[in-house]
Structure formats: structure tokens, C-alpha cells
Amino acid sequence: MAETFRRVAERARAASRTLALATRAEKDAALIAMADDLVAATEPVLAANADDLRRAEAGGTPPNILDRLRLTPERVEAMAQGLRDVAGLPDPVGEVVRGSVLANGLELRQVRVPFGVVGMVYEARPNVTADAAGICLKSGNAVLLRGSSSARSSNAAVVEVLRAGAERSGLPADVVQLVPGHSHDSVKELMRARGLVDVLIPRGGAGLIRSVVEESTVPVIETGVGNCHVYVDAAADLDQALAIVLNAKTHRTSVCNAAESLLVHADVAETFLPRVVAALQEAGVTVHGDAAFAAYEGVVPATEDDWDVEYLSLDISAAVVPDLDAAIEHVHRHSSGHTEAILTRDQAAARRFVAAVDSAAVLVNASTRFTDGGEFGFGAEIGISTQKLHARGPMGLPEMTSTKYVVTGDGHVR
């Protein structure tokens, strides 16, 4: 491990010890100070961002990625507002998750505590820098940020401001640090820092997440790949179903909770297929269909790969299934375990789909787009976990904590 990385990680650990004992009032004051400082530093932050944009343009970065990289006064204000919003949320640290008095009089409490040091590996958007720092600080965790090298000037400028804000309010600046270096080596060091880093959260494309999951010896929370299915049951309200399919697919295509695959019960295929194909095509969606769908004009015959792909675009795979169990079986085989929806008025069908489908979120008569920390009322979201360990689904502040048992006695021995 490079000595510079070790020093950074050890400073994070030391800062985390102080932060773990900070009161909610102290943490909220730091978040507000960071927000105020960020707005005050709009000019230097935008100047740093202009550096990144110049470099990216010179490198031939496509316009949609450039747009994600770009900061504006409004986006800086939004980052600051995000920090203020987190200050307004309840502090998860110290919450008593369960408690009891044992038969022998020992008092047992399980209480929420910070993880300690959290590593974040993320791509493109510089706003994640402030979001992640705010959520980690409020949950009592020091954070090591490893953004993409394309945003390195912006991230450095933002982190400098956040550190100064934390320090100004009396917390150690090292509660927020950038991982030194921009090569893949710096990600490797985070992944190997078992004992120095408590949890690693990758946010970004499927490739980034896969490589972190496979190589990290630090425990990882996997986020975000969504091959989400909408199943239109025989007993669906077809008007509702049409609206939900359109919303799930087209409301925003680049997000993990967008629908990527449509399954329709054979009993309603004849009525529903012409309507849904026409509506999707009118909205600019390319339908990659099985034989039943491919009978409609403009539908592209699906290949085997289409059932597993997360398009993140105006594309959807579509198949007719003979019954509910075939729909469940299709989901088991092809889903990434993010979000699936059943559209039905049949209570027994809904109950069976909800019980059998093994995904982070299962929705009944609602768009897949609702799987979201904001929609769920969490106030802040660090990502959507698609793993089963620790946290599953949208992760808010409580998911950024561990617990410990506190046991109080009066000379108790066994």
C-alpha cells in the first residue's frame, strides 16, 4: 500500500473517532457551514469545473457526458441545498434498534453507530462529492472519496470547501478527504484497505461495480444495476397498465429504476399488445419483442441477450407469457434483483408475485420509477443496494450505520 494512501486512511480513522462522538447539533452546524461555504465559493468551483470541461472536450467526450460533468451556479446551489436538507433529517446514530432486560437483570440495548470510514468510488457527476460527504458526515462516518479523474479539478475544489466548512464548525477537516491519485491504483488501494476502510460503496456503471465487487477485500455495498420488469397480468386494468408501462419506460431512461422489460399475460395479449406497442413507439421506444410482439410492425425481434440487458435508453424487451408462474420464472432468470412490478386487480396474483419475486423492491400497480430514496421519503439517498446483505433497496441515513450491543449489569458473571 502506498504510504500516501495509508496516511490519508489513518487520518480518516482518527477523524472518524471524533465524528462518532459528535452530537447531532455539531454535525448539523458543520453541514450548514459547508453549504454556506459552497455557495460562497461558487466562482472558484466553477473555474475548476471549467478546467475539467476543457480537458473533457479536448478528449472528445460526448455531449451527454459533458452535461453530467458541467456545474452551474444553480447546480452548486442545489449541492448546498442537499447539505442543508441532510442537516434537517433525524440523526440515525444512537437510535435504539431494540432493547430489553434479560432474566438475570442485564440491560441489553442494540444501538446504531457509524461504520467508521466509508470509501466511495463514483463516476462523472461532481455533485455526488457533496451528496456523499453530507450523508456520511450526518451518519457519523469519515469518507474517502474517489471520483472519476474526468472531474478531478471540480472534486478537488468542492472537497477543499467542504473540509474548510467542517473545520470552521469545529469538526476535523479529515472527515472528508479525496483519495490521492487518479489512476486505477487509487481504487485498488481502497479495495485492499481492509481494517482501514470499513465499507466501500461503488456508484456508477455496471463495469465499475462488478470490478469493485470482485476485487475488494473491504466489505462492499453493491448499488444500482436495474433490469426492471413490468408484468401485465390477465387481471390488469389495461388503461392503468398502459400508463404505468409508459411512465416506467419513458419518464427517465438513464436511471436504474426505469423499466427494461415488459411481460404480458397471454390472455390479454390480443387486446393489450397493439395498444402498448403503438404507445411505446409513439413515445420513441424501440420494442425488442418475442414472436408474439414481433408480429407488430416496427418491433425488432429480440435476441437472447435482450432479456438480460439494462438498456438505459428508449428500448424495451417484451414477451408474452402463458401465466403468472411463467412471468415469475422469467424474472428469476433475467432480473438483476432491483425492481419488478405486477399490474393486476387480482389479489391472489399480486400476493403470489410479491412473495415469489426476489428483488429489492416489488411493486403492485405502480411504476418502477418509485423505487427511490426520495420517493420513499428517506430525504437523502446514497444509492440503491441490489445486494441482500446489510441493506437492500434505496439506502438512506440509517443504512449508513452499523449497530453495537450495549449491556449494563451490576457485577454480573456467568
Residue 400 engages a second copy in binding (rule: CB under 8 A): no
Contact between 220 and 227 (Cβ < 8 Å): no
Residue 403 C-beta: closest distance to a second copy, Å = 5
Q: How many residues bind a second copy (CB under 8 A)?
A: 70
Nearest alpha-carbon partner for 218 in 271, 282, 280, 146: 146
Interface pick for a second copy out of 232, 244, 349, 382 (rule CB under 8 A): 244
Residue 208 engages a second copy in binding (rule: CB under 8 A): no
Residue 261 C-beta: closest distance to a second copy, Å = 18
Residue 411 engages a second copy in binding (rule: CB under 8 A): yes
84-89-94 Cα angle (round to 5): 130
Which stretch, 28-36, 65-73, 265-273, 383-391, contacts a second copy (CB under 8 A)? 383-391
Q: Which residues between 28 and 47 bind a second copy (CB under 8 A)?
A: none
Q: Tally Cβ neighbours within 10 Å of residue 78.
A: 14
- Residue 392 has phi, psi (to 5 degrees) of -135, 130
Residue 398 C-beta: closest distance to a second copy, Å = 9
Helix (H, G, I), strand (E, B) or coil at 288: strand
- Residue 359 has phi, psi (to 5 degrees) of -130, 165
Residue 388 engages a second copy in binding (rule: CB under 8 A): yes
Per-residue b/e over 7-44, b at no fewer than 16 CB within 10 Å?
ebbebbbebbeebeebebeebbbbbbbbbbbbbebbee
Residue 282 engages a second copy in binding (rule: CB under 8 A): no
Query: How many CA atoms lie less than 13 Å away from 304 in the CB half-sphere?
Result: 1
Which stretch, 52-60, 176-184, 305-313, 397-405, contacts a second copy (CB under 8 A)? 397-405
Which pairing describes strands 383-385 and 393-395: parallel, antiparallel, or unpaired?
antiparallel
Per-residue b/e over 251-280, b at no fewer than 16 CB within 10 Å?
eebebbbbbbbbbbbeebbeebbeebbebb
Interface pick for a second copy out of 52, 198, 290, 306 (rule CB under 8 A): 198
Residue 305 C-beta: closest distance to a second copy, Å = 17
> Rounded to an integer, what is the distance from CA 309 to the centroid of its chain?
19
Which stretch, 247-255, 283-291, 304-312, 319-327, contacts a second copy (CB under 8 A)? 247-255
Interface pick for a second copy out of 77, 237, 308, 323 (rule CB under 8 A): 237
Helix (H, G, I), strand (E, B) or coil at 135: helix
Cβ closer to a second copy: 81 or 365?
365
Q: Which residues between 54 and 73 bind a second copy (CB under 8 A)?
A: none
Residue 219 engages a second copy in binding (rule: CB under 8 A): yes
- Residue 99 has phi, psi (to 5 degrees) of -160, 150
Residue 214 engages a second copy in binding (rule: CB under 8 A): yes
User: In this structure, what C-alpha cell is assigned to residue 404?
Assistant: 453495537
Residue 396 C-beta: closest distance to a second copy, Å = 11
Q: How far apart are CA 287 and CA 251, in angstroms?
A: 16
- Residue 356 has phi, psi (to 5 degrees) of -85, -30
Cβ closer to a second copy: 94 or 298?
94
Contact between 142 and 15 (Cβ < 8 Å): yes
Cβ closer to a second copy: 40 or 406?
406
Residue 410 engages a second copy in binding (rule: CB under 8 A): yes
Nearest alpha-carbon partner for 73 in 33, 41, 27: 41
Residue 291 engages a second copy in binding (rule: CB under 8 A): no
Interface pick for a second copy out of 65, 108, 208, 268 (rule CB under 8 A): 108
Residue 240 engages a second copy in binding (rule: CB under 8 A): yes
Which stretch, 144-152, 171-179, 210-218, 307-315, contacts a second copy (CB under 8 A)? 210-218
Interface pick for a second copy out of 116, 126, 202, 383 (rule CB under 8 A): 116
Cβ closer to a second copy: 3 or 333?
333
Q: How far apart are CA 119 and CA 170, in angstroms?
A: 23
Contact characters 346-375, a second copy, x per CB under 8 A: ----x---xxx-xxxxxxxxxx-xxx---x
Cβ closer to a second copy: 219 or 298?
219
Contact characters 132-171, a second copy, x per CB under 8 A: ----------------------------------------
Query: Integer distance in angstroms from the first to the last C-alpha of the chain?
Result: 44
User: What residues pair up with 121 in beta bridges, in sequence order?
Assistant: 146, 202
Which residues bind to a second copy, rule: CB under 8 A? 17, 20-21, 100, 102-103, 106, 108, 110, 113, 115-116, 194, 198-199, 213-214, 217, 219-221, 237, 240, 243-244, 246-248, 251, 332, 350, 354-356, 358-367, 369-371, 375-377, 387-390, 392-394, 402-414
